Each structure stands twice: as C-alpha cells, then as structure tokens.
Structure 1
C-alpha cells in the first residue's frame, strides 16, 4: 500500500470523526436553545383551562374556582334574582355592557352569561383588584339600602349587581369581567375556552 493511500484513509477517518463530534456538540448546544422556546410547565398551567364541577351549586349559592391564578365566581341565580336585573339599569354605570372586551360576545346580554341562571365572573374588582364579597340576599345593606343582591368590594366600596355590572357611585369604572368559558356537560364548565374558539 502506498504512503498516499494510508494518508487518505486516515484523513477520511479523522474528518468523519471530527464531523461526528461536531454534530454531537452542536446538538448539546441546540437542545437548551430550542427548549427555551417551549413554555415551562408553570407557564402552561398559568394559561391552562380550568374544569369546574357546578352540579352541586344550589340556587342562590356561589362557588369560587381558580383560573390563571385569579378567583372565578360561579353563582346559580334564582328566577327572582333574574327578574330584578332589568329594574337596575338606571342605577348602573354601564347597563348595556359597552366595554366589549369585558365579556365574550355570547355574554353580551342582560344576564352576561350563556345560561341565564349561571353567572361566571372573574372575582377581581375592576377598581384596584380586590376580591368583592357575594351578598345574594335582597335586603337593605349598610352599603346600599335598596340592595337587590350582587357583589360588594370591601376595599373601596364598589358595588356590582348579580350580572357583575357596576353601580353608579362606585370607584370601579367597569363591570366585572366575564372570562371565556364553555359547558363540557350540564354539570361541568371549562373556564378559559369557549366553543367558538375551541
């Protein structure tokens, strides 16, 4: 075998080995870089939809769930509660839901919901982010002598009716926000997803 043949073979082997080591090294460098594009488990959980069992909510009662780290209020309204909603328009700042980003199109109605008996709202006051308290009973309250039920924010006194619409005289300027949601079944609601965009 000639001297040139040995050198060419050796050169080919060395080039192949160097290329292989370089490819492996590039892989080690690329994996963390590509992984940085994928959202973390925490980030996925923060935006993940939340399934809530609503089958046991009694008429007039409310439960609190969580979605994206925020409280979500789900209340089952009675017929009396629904009947009181139209008579409140003159006392409200925005009875017609003019700030359209505060609710999905399917909740742009007097009940601000898909099903009239169920209201689903973010439990975050639109003034400074406190959690309003649920006062469902129709009775005089220290904060409103003509109270027809709804939410009262203890931090600064904002009041919201049973559709989450803000009363005049409240520091909050906007109605409570209605998150996107859909019904998986009669007893399960999924917060964060709706049929229109699913």
Structure 2
C-alpha cells in the first residue's frame, strides 16, 4: 500500500479551522457563564436611586419610601424642631455624630442634613434592626415630659431625636444612618446618589 504524501498547507488549514471553530464554541459557552455574574434586572432596580417628592410635605410631616429593601424616612422639620436640637446634646450618646459611617460628609452638622428643614434617614434601629416610629409630639404620656419629639423604637425602647441621634441609656449603640442623597430641585430628593449630574 502506497503512502499518501503529507500536504503541509492542508494540515495548517485544517488545524487553523479547528482552532477557530473551537474558539467560537468557547465564546458561546462563556457568554452565559460570564453574564451570570451581572446582577439581575430586579437586583439592579432594588439598588437604584429613588425619588421622594417633598414639595407637598407639610412642616412636621414624614413620608416613608423603600430603597434597597429598607425604609427611608423623610421628615419636613419645622423651625422649632431644628432650633431645639442643640438643647438635647447632654442627653445624647453621640451628639456630634463622630461615627463617620453614620452619615455622609454633607450631613456632618448638628441637624445631620443637606438642608436643615429636611431630615433623611434609614428607618432601621441600630440595635436589632426594628423600624422606629416617628413621634413628633412633645411630652406624650408614654414617653414622658422630657420628650421633645423624635423616633421611638417599640421593640426595645431605643430613642432618637429629630436628627436621628441616639439618646444615652438605651439599647441602640449608634445614631440612625443618613443615606447618600441629593436635591434634584427644591421639591425633589433623590436617595442613593451623592450628587446630581447635569
């Protein structure tokens, strides 16, 4: 039986074709694998910024919205509410909000906000994660004559003032967290962004 001569050009062509087909196959197999690392549309939406209309929020009122699975409290504080904040410093665990992780740099002030009249907080108690209730009334019977308004956690009795600062002697160890947010305009707050880009 006679030997068939080897054709080097044909061998290179077949080898190159096999490598090319294999590379395309690997690419098709890799796409679903790599795309599984991307967050789903539902996950992306859950982390997306949320807008809160505050133009119709009357002084003293609070609105709650959901962002990243957490309640966000937005309170339209009255001038009187803001004015009384410094008077509570002696009763608070961290009146100057020294724990930097509790608020962005823009909220490093006694009213813990971009604008003193609007308070934006994550409505989750820093003790065990319950949702504190908004109690703006002054001196209610159940909270005592010293209460000047704020947030009360019904789970274990933690108290926070109208800037979300925690009182001494309660289970919660930290102030309520101020999330990143910015004003889109005077009547709209966007929670989840540090600034509004044009």
Contact 2:150 2:164 in 1 (8 A): yes
Report the counterpart of residue 48 of structure 2 in structure 1. Answer: 48
Distance 1:80 1:68, change over 3 A: same
Distance 1:18 1:37, change over 3 A: same
Report the counterpart of residue 190 of structure 1 in structure 2. Answer: 190
List aligned pairs for 1:14-163, cutoff 5 A.
14-15=14-15, 17-163=17-163
Structure 1 stretches of at least 4 aligned residues deviating more than 6 Å after TM superposition: none
Structure 1 gap ranges (5+): none
Q: Deviations over 1:32-56 (max 9, x none)?
A: 2321332322332232221221221
Contact 2:59 2:77 in 1 (8 A): yes
Aligned-residue RMSD, C-alpha: 2.3
Partner SS for 1:85: helix
Contact 1:152 1:158 in 2 (8 A): yes
Distance 2:141 2:167 in 1: 14
Q: How many pairs does the alignment contain?
A: 195
Distance 2:132 2:61 in 1: 15
State TM-score, norm by structure 1.
0.88
Q: Deviations over 1:78-111 (max 9, x none)?
A: 0111111111111111111111110111111111
